[in-house]
Amino acid sequence: MTQYFDPLETRSAEARAEALARALPDQIGRAQALPGYGGALDGVEAARITGVADLARLPVLRKSDLGRAQGAASPFGGLTSLPAAGFAHIFQSPGPIYEPGGVSHDWWRMGRFLHACGVGPGDIVQNCFGYHLTPAGMIFENGARAVGAAVLPAGTGQTELQARAAHDVGVTAYAGTPDYLKVILDKAEEMGLALKITKAAVGGGALFPSLRAEYAARGISCLQCYATADLGNIAYESAAMEGMIVDEGVIVEIVTPGTGNPVAPGEVGEVVVTTLNPDYPLIRFATGDLSAVMEGESPCGRTNMRIKGWMGRADQTTKIKGMFVRPEQVAALVARHDCIARARVVASREGEADVMTVRIEATGGEAENFAGSVVETLKLKGRIEIVPPGSLPNDGKVIEDLRSYE
């Protein structure tokens, strides 16, 4: 394997800016022609949008905007020039929000991350991201093809079968959420199966330092990426493990949450992304995630801007066990039962795994009475604690994250 995925990763700042000055006006022009933008880009001179600073003059596109647009023009809200049948895949995320997917070379730009993880020809990747409706499984499979690796399309669950398959086919690399690899490793150890996994490419949740250290002690190098269903890969770690390097196919801005105004370098703000993918030109798409720009370049030699990785949500939305839990879901839980006055979801960690506890202020009822509603509204199983009315903090929070990211 070569050290870098392609020459784009080590371009000079000048060469990258020159390429952007050519590509960005074309992308703005594509977006202006799409009905899904609803005239939001009318009056913009695409030829004058040639750099990151110029983007600040454009409106921010939010997930709620996608939902409204798709409600009016299913499935993609008029935000792509291709018909639905023109894509290889159509995915569904909570909302529901529909996302297109392609199978051309590195369509999701995940190959760059897998290459940085050392994955390439000769590797067999156990892909434990979901393949049903949501795009993560296909995102990583497309990336594995881009680097020439074989894929075991494992998906989620059935841990005993996963451990057996990893042993029998000689899996060398793992792709999935950070926690689940440990579950497979522990199950394989329990079954007396020796595994050959030495590389892990993870996403969809926080990679805690203690968990990375445990993998290292077991001979596994574990790196993480930052990706979304709408945008594909946004940024990724290299072996230097000093921040996340922004992918060459997107433009990242850090703005004051709820606005489109860029923050000062180094300040924490909301991640806003413009993709250069001509098939799905999302312009200034607000992720709802918080991060900050890091000074300088990565010691690995990749020259693009770095961010500090995921630093929480601009709202109270929190990712638990790889799934987003949103304030409106907690409100839906409360609305289901007249006896519930308030509820609070608490995210914590135990034994290198996420734990969700749902604290419910109720005038009566046992915890098991609410278990079905918790799963149906929050889409996750969790502990349920009944607490007296008035005992939850009066701080406006319905989701609290107690996990340490240091």
How far is Cα 210 from Cα 213, in angstroms, rounded to an integer? 5
What is the structure's pLDDT at 398?
Answer: 85
Given the structure tokens 């990565």, which residue do they identify? 298
User: Each residue of 339-356: pLDDT tens digit?
Assistant: 998 899 999 999 889 999
Task: For residue 271, give the amino acid letter.
Answer: V
User: Each residue of 3-15: pLDDT tens digit?
Assistant: 999 999 999 999 9
User: Each residue of 218-232: pLDDT tens digit?
Assistant: 999 999 999 999 999
Which of helix, strand or coil describes residue 57? coil
Neighbours of 372 (CB within 10 A): 10
At residue 88, does pLDDT exceed 90?
Answer: yes
DSSP letters, 159-220, are: HHHHHHHHHHHT--EEEE-HHHHHHHHHHHHHHT------EEEE-SS---HHHHHHHHHTT-
User: Each residue of 16-45: pLDDT tens digit?
Assistant: 999 999 999 999 999 999 999 988 999 999
Q: What kind and span of H or E run contains 63?
A: helix 63-72
* Residue of 175, 178, 235 whose CA lies nearest to 209: 178
User: Each residue of 37-66: pLDDT tens digit?
Assistant: 988 999 999 999 999 999 999 999 999 899
Beta bridge partners of 306: 245, 294
Query: Which strands, in side-by-side order, build the sheet including 285-291?
Result: 250-255, 269-275, 285-291
* Residue of 377, 367, 372 whose CA lies nearest to 326: 377
Count of all residues that appear for the chain in the document = 406
At residue 124, does pLDDT exceed 90?
Answer: yes
Mean predicted confidence (pLDDT) in 256-274: 89
For the chain, the average pLDDT equals 94
Q: Are strands 150-152 and 124-127 parallel, antiparallel or unpaired?
A: parallel
**Prediction pTM value:** 0.82
